[in-house]
Amino acid sequence: MSAEQRTEISELGEFGLIRRLTEPFTVQHPSTVLAVGDDAAVIQYEAGRHTVITTDLLLEGIHFDLMYVPLKHLGYKAVVVNLSDVYAMNAVPRQITVSIGVSNRFSVEALEELYEGIRAACKKYQVDLIGGDTSSSVKGMVISVTAIGETDANRLVRRSGASVNELICVTGDLGAAYLGLQLLEREKRLFLENPKLKPDLEGQAYVVGRQLKPEARRDVIAWLQQAGILPTSMIDVSDGLSSDVLHLCQASGTGCKLYEEKIPVSDDAYALALKFHLDPITCALSGGEDYELLFTIRQQDYEKIQNHPDISVIGHMQEAAAGSVLITKSGKEHPLTALGWNAFPKA
Amino acid sequence: MSAEQRTEISELGEFGLIRRLTEPFTVQHPSTVLAVGDDAAVIQYEAGRHTVITTDLLLEGIHFDLMYVPLKHLGYKAVVVNLSDVYAMNAVPRQITVSIGVSNRFSVEALEELYEGIRAACKKYQVDLIGGDTSSSVKGMVISVTAIGETDANRLVRRSGASVNELICVTGDLGAAYLGLQLLEREKRLFLENPKLKPDLEGQAYVVGRQLKPEARRDVIAWLQQAGILPTSMIDVSDGLSSDVLHLCQASGTGCKLYEEKIPVSDDAYALALKFHLDPITCALSGGEDYELLFTIRQQDYEKIQNHPDISVIGHMQEAAAGSVLITKSGKEHPLTALGWNAFPKA
């Protein structure tokens, strides 16, 4: 944010602000019939397509801390986490709406930064901004994003389709976003104690990037289609592997067996976890915000997937009665529990 | 809210809370392929239909005051104001998503009241709740509703279709919601000064109802279709008649001429305005939140509409160069200005 310029939101008014923020956006899809500027937006997909809709509410002080989250990154992430949910249905996102509530602490220039991040995500993932709402808030920033996407009816993948003996796969690596958050929180504490201190994030670009600028796995969704693989169930890893695999199990009526040694953790995340005296696997199981895809495939698809550099087979589904368990490196069996991020922490 | 029972949200956790709040909802439309419970909801409309999407963000302390707004009414209104936007596209709402952010000040029972209102609106307007998000907030309540609807491509009505000489129509009456708000605010002030005072709303059911429990004009949309009338432009009156007619003019590239004597104001609202030393017509022009439909029709449709008891012809479109004006009862011409509700009041 340039220190030189500060335009008050009240100078533009609600409609002037919407115009200023949304004008730089261009419509990329013929399915976007009508974008910002009417009572509602209008889309039209080809006949026979399913429309997929997901929405997330992000609140300052709960989901993000503007002390270390740049507004541009925040805008980018707010979009990406919703797109990730669309991909997790094996669908392709096409449109988003973005609503914001902001206090007069924020200038028009600050909101332009936020929307620059939103625009970067729209460009990268080829989605159109088609609507939203702007309002003042008493205090703090509120962002509500709705993402809309499409898929062939017969390629939709729910959480509920997994069967016993199917393989459990996860993309990328897990736990780094959580460790990035711990690092940023530590630097914030140190800064608050001694404001002269410069944040020390050297060599931590990977984990910090995973926290501040996550990406959705569009590449994997495209690859699965090319490879002729239709997952039987899928979810994105937002709450943590434990919590999310239990969602698949619960929806599918199965149990699962995961192998600790198969769970992908990056070298950077592993080293940082040890530095923080944390168990790297616990970070992967309970950390959340990785936005990787967790899905099940039929055994006969194993050959197609085994050499993909970014997909790990971490276990398999089993009978519900056998429970949902983790087999440790030492061969012990532990029940999986959902220790993931809780939106309602006990006071 | 029963005083006897208070279940803390943290006792249920995020997923338990979502289950508890959404379980009483039933799916009413075959177009709702998948509702609450996966990464995203799925809908599918028949081939050739347009999908209409609108979203609103409601913040405690800005858009509602829980000192006099019952939670059930709040839930109902949060849905209805979005449905009103869908109708204003000449479309029919079919699905909604609802996201809420709440602090631990709210009990599970309080949220159930909110959702009872949401359910009442879903039932009355036959829409399905298909998703959303729940989260804790640092302070205050946040509600974000997205409404999705459908229409035939050739029956979609935008703000931009009006032409010179077309007739400007409005449904119902205007200003009462604003006067209801003034009344509730006055009673709140009196109560804060003297908590022993009982609120005096006697004989004011109409204006209070217009503020607390507005309805969307589904009936008019259905009637227009039956009567063979396709409005050329349309908007719902949420910001106030002045502001909203100027939106139609701006989008259509026209000016307009409204006649003060034609603007519909209810007897109750008229009497209350005078009691408050307010001009009833100013309340109608600038009050907002009426959720009536404002639309333009071709002159040849006048005969069809003239005897409808709930539609008033209040003026006509004119050349943009002639401006947007109000002709007062005394025959004077006043420029219309958008004095409607501003989401970003000057500090």
| pLDDT value of residue B339 | 60
pLDDT band with cut points at 50, 70 and 90 for residue A14: confident
State yes or no: pLDDT of A28 exceeds 90: no
CA A30 to chain centre: 26
Q: Whole-angstrom Cα distance, residue A49 to residue B42?
A: 10
| Min Cα separation B61/chain A (Å) | 7
Contact list, A347 vs chain B (CB under 8 Å): 8, 10, 104
Contact list, B142 vs chain A (CB under 8 Å): 57, 59, 101, 142
Q: Whole-angstrom Cα distance, residue A259 to residue A330?
A: 10
| Min Cα separation B203/chain A (Å) | 33
Residue B151 backbone phi and psi in degrees, to 5: -160, 160
| pLDDT value of residue B235 | 97
On whether any CB of chain B is under 8 Å from the CB of A228, the answer is: no
For residues A216 and B12, the model is more confident at: A216
On whether any CB of chain A is under 8 Å from the CB of B89, the answer is: yes
pLDDT band with cut points at 50, 70 and 90 for residue A341: very low
| pLDDT value of residue B1 | 46
Q: Whole-angstrom Cα distance, residue A96 to residue A81?
A: 12
Contact list, A156 vs chain B (CB under 8 Å): 33-34, 42
Please give the C-alpha separations between residue A108 and each of A14, A103, A113, A158, A189, in angstroms, as whole numbers: 11, 11, 9, 40, 29
* CB atoms near residue B156 (< 10 Å): 21
Q: Whole-angstrom Cα distance, residue A199 to residue A176?
A: 19
State yes or no: pLDDT of A40 exceeds 90: no
| pLDDT value of residue B205 | 93
Q: Whole-angstrom Cα distance, residue A250 to residue A158?
A: 12
CA angle A51, A53, A58 (to 5 degrees): 165
| Span A226-244, average pLDDT | 96
Q: B345–A138: do the CB atoms touch at under 8 Å?
A: no
Q: Structural domain boundaries of chain B?
A: 9-155, 167-335
Q: What is the mean pLDDT of chain A?
A: 91
Q: B45–A33: do the CB atoms touch at under 8 Å?
A: no
Q: B42–A52: do the CB atoms touch at under 8 Å?
A: yes
| pLDDT value of residue A337 | 84
* pTM across the whole model: 0.92
Q: A101–B142: do the CB atoms touch at under 8 Å?
A: yes
Comparing alpha-carbon positions, the chain A residue that sits nearest to B85 is A39
Radius of gyration of chain A (CA): 21
> Considering the domain B167-335 in this protein, what is its CATH number?
3.90.650.10
Which is nearest to A40 in space by CA: B221, B34, B234? Answer: B234
Q: Whole-angstrom Cα distance, residue A97 to residue A39?
A: 13
Please give the C-alpha separations between residue A176 and each of A67, B29, B216, in angstroms, as whole numbers: 20, 42, 48
Region label for B277, one of left (φ > 0), alpha (ψ between -120 and 50) or beta (otherwise): left
Q: B57–A8: do the CB atoms touch at under 8 Å?
A: no
On whether any CB of chain B is under 8 Å from the CB of A28, the answer is: no
State yes or no: pLDDT of A236 exceeds 80: yes
Starting at the edge strand found earlier in the chain, the sheet holding A142-152 runs: A128-136, A92-102, A142-152, A49-59, B41-43, B32-34
Sort B308 into a burial class: Cβ within 10 Å, 0-12 / 13-18 / 19+. Answer: middle
Contact list, B246 vs chain A (CB under 8 Å): none
CA A148 to chain centre: 15
Region label for B126, one of left (φ > 0), alpha (ψ between -120 and 50) or beta (otherwise): left
Handedness of CA A253, A259, A262, A263 (dihedral sign): positive
| Span A201-214, average pLDDT | 92
Task: Tell me the ipTM for this assembly.
Answer: 0.90
| pLDDT value of residue A325 | 95
pLDDT band with cut points at 50, 70 and 90 for residue A34: confident
| Min Cα separation B40/chain A (Å) | 4
Contact list, B49 vs chain A (CB under 8 Å): 44
| pLDDT value of residue A234 | 97
The SS3 assignment for B255 reads strand
Helix or strand holding residue B146 (H, E): strand B142-152
| Tokens linked to B136 | 């804790």
Q: What is the pLDDT of residues B177-210, one digit of tens each?
A: 999 999 999 999 988 888 888 877 888 999 999 9
The SS3 assignment for B334 reads strand
| pLDDT value of residue A347 | 39
Which is nearest to B82 in space by CA: B218, B220, B219? Answer: B218
| Span A229-254, average pLDDT | 96
Q: Are A141 and A61 in contact (CB under 8 A)?
A: no
Q: Are B167 and B316 in contact (CB under 8 A)?
A: yes
Query: Which amino acid does the sequence have at B209?
Result: G
Contact list, A51 vs chain B (CB under 8 Å): 42-45, 51
| pLDDT value of residue B341 | 45
Contacts with B, A 36-65, CB within 8 Å = 37-45, 47-57, 59-63
Q: Whole-angstrom Cα distance, residue A104 to residue A8?
A: 7
Q: Are A149 and A93 in contact (CB under 8 A)?
A: yes
State yes or no: pLDDT of A148 exceeds 90: yes
Q: Whole-angstrom Cα distance, residue B58 to residue B74?
A: 10
* CB atoms near residue A219 (< 10 Å): 12
> Considering the domain B9-155 in this protein, what is its CATH number?
3.30.1330.10
Q: Whole-angstrom Cα distance, residue A264 to residue A78?
A: 25
Which is nearest to A57 in space by CA: B203, B98, B27, B186? Answer: B98
| pLDDT value of residue B4 | 67
Segments in chain A forming alpha helices (H): 9-22, 71-87, 108-124, 176-193, 205-212, 218-226, 241-252, 267-275, 280-286, 302-305
Candidates 3.30.1180.10, 3.40.50.300, 3.30.1330.10, 3.90.1150.200; correct CATH number of A12-155? 3.30.1330.10
Q: What is the pLDDT of residues A280-316, one digit of tens each?
A: 999 999 999 999 999 999 999 999 999 999 999 999 9
Residues of chain B with pLDDT under 50: 1-2, 340-343, 345-347
Q: What is the pLDDT of residues A164-202, one digit of tens each?
A: 999 999 999 999 999 999 999 999 998 888 888 887 788
| pLDDT value of residue A202 | 81
| pLDDT value of residue A196 | 86
Q: B57–A142: do the CB atoms touch at under 8 Å?
A: yes
* CB atoms near residue B68 (< 10 Å): 19
Handedness of CA B154, B156, B159, B164 (dihedral sign): positive
| pLDDT value of residue B203 | 84
